[in-house]
Each structure stands twice: as C-alpha cells, then as structure tokens.
Chains A and B, each alone.
Chain A
C-alpha cells in the first residue's frame, strides 16, 4: 500500500512544520486549563505557559481538543 498523491501535502506539512517541542501531550494536558484561561481573558500568555502554546502548534491531537475546550468553556 503505497502513499499516493493525496498524502504528499500532509506529509510535507508534517515535516516542514516540525519545530522542537520540549513537552509532550501529558504536560500539555496538565496545564492547558491555565493556558485557556489566559487566552479567554485576552491576557498575554506568560513565559511559563509558552511551551503549551508551542505544543498546541505541533500536536494536531491536542490542538483539536483545545479548540473543543474553548468552545465548551465559552458556553459556560
């Protein structure tokens, strides 16, 4: 089962967009509530939470959950 034309763009996106990410999904999960509160309040993200921002850029799974989280929090 070869990769086909439809895979090329996503693969290139995965590769070219890769940046170092010192944390993983677990660390992100542990601190994303704080991060979301800063973002919802339109406050500047503190340096201590910038690793969360970076991880969300790198990890589609966490980013997807984060988008859902914001939608849920806005409904409360």
Chain B
C-alpha cells in the first residue's frame, strides 16, 4: 500500500513543510488510484475520479483527528474518500428524480391490476390478494414519513440523497426506513403471509428474497 508507516501519516500530514506537502501528494495519489478503480462503473454513469479526488482529499485532511488507528491509515482514508466519491455519483444519478412526484396521496399504494395475465386464475387471485393485503398493511402500519421514505427507496433514491431531500440525516432516514420494513414484515406474518407464499405467488426465487437493492 504505502511505505509511510501508519503511525507517521498523521504526524506528516499535520507537520511542517516540505514533508507535509510530500505526504499530501502521496495521499492524493493513493486516493486517486483507489477512486479510479471504484467509481467509474457506479450506477452506469461515466464518472472521472479526477473530478472528485480533491474534495475527497480535503475531507480526509479535515478528518485526521478522528483517525484512531483501528485500521491502516490508508484503509481509513479510502473509506472517507469512497463516501465522498459515491455521494457525488449518487447526486449525479438522482438529480432528475423529483421527490415531489412521489409525495402525492397515493405515494405508496398499488393500483389494483386489471391486466390479463398468462397465468393460472388461482395464481392471479393470490397475487391480487397479496397486493390488497400489502396496500392495507402499508396504510395501517406505516407513518406518512415512512411511506414517503419507502417510496423514495423504491424509486431508486439512495438513503443519503433521501436524507438531503427530507432535511434529515442518513442515519435517521435509514432507521425510519428500516423500522418500516420490520413493521410491514411483522404485519405480513400476523396475516399468515409467509415468505414461501410470497415466493410462490410472485415467482421469486429464495435467493432473490432479502437481496434488497
């Protein structure tokens, strides 16, 4: 990774010139290498690591006091840089998704489908039953804010972006969303709707269940 010892990084980065400048350049080079491998393919967007490495470097330099030595210095720095980089990619990815569009009264309610299906009638009935149950449970179990957060997540808005748009923070929105998921899961189980039933009705493989993206 680097020939600068972990215990020396912070001292050099906070020390006198010219050693400080040399250490900053080494750090910048490492962050650029890491981000060049991790960012370009995210969300199907073209994204240049050079565009974000300076912001990432500044974030690392202003966070030095929080490095406690629980990991290698560069691992810690790349964690910070990755979050800066991914956040920038997400902003680019979601800039055209409006939260206004999902704030209507029906924001988390399935429309009853009248589409003809190429499936057995009983499976269509089961599917509609499941959708009706979901609608009722969404209405009775979740708060307005949970419905909004869940709707945003279903539209592909990442939690950190949702937090910005809801004037909240990432941790709080994650908890809001996660509590909503657990409430709905418990409510489904109380209705006797099992994972197996969902799999059969929706044609989902066991591997797909739980692989929430």
Binding site for B on A (CB under 8 A): 1-5, 7-18, 20-21, 24-26, 29, 31-34, 36-37, 57-61, 64-65, 68-69, 71-76
The yes or no answer to B28 lying at the interface (CB within 8 A) is no
The 10 closest A-B pairs by CB, nearest first: A17-B210, A72-B34, A33-B71, A18-B181, A2-B111, A75-B37, A72-B38, A68-B38, A71-B38, A61-B159
Complex CA gap A9/B134 in Å reads: 12
Assess the B185–A15 pair: CB atoms within 8 A. yes
Complex CA gap A7/B102 in Å reads: 13
Which residues of the other chain, B, contact A32 by a CB distance below 8 angstroms?
79
Which residues of the other chain, B, contact A11 by a CB distance below 8 angstroms?
134, 150, 154
Interface segment out of the listed B7-15, B118-126, B169-177? B169-177
Assess the B39–A29 pair: CB atoms within 8 A. no
Binding site secondary structure of chain A: helix
Assess the B82–A17 pair: CB atoms within 8 A. no
Assess the B70–A61 pair: CB atoms within 8 A. no
Assess the A24–B174 pair: CB atoms within 8 A. yes
Known contacts A3-B154, A14-B212: A9-B204 contact under CB 8 Å: yes
Assess the B175–A33 pair: CB atoms within 8 A. no
Assess the A15–B184 pair: CB atoms within 8 A. yes
Which residues of the other chain, B, contact A1 by a CB distance below 8 angstroms?
101-102, 104, 106-107
The yes or no answer to B64 lying at the interface (CB within 8 A) is no
Interface centre among B39, B158, B210, by most chain A C-beta atoms within 10 angstroms, is: B210
Complex CA gap A12/B203 in Å reads: 12
Complex CA gap A37/B209 in Å reads: 29
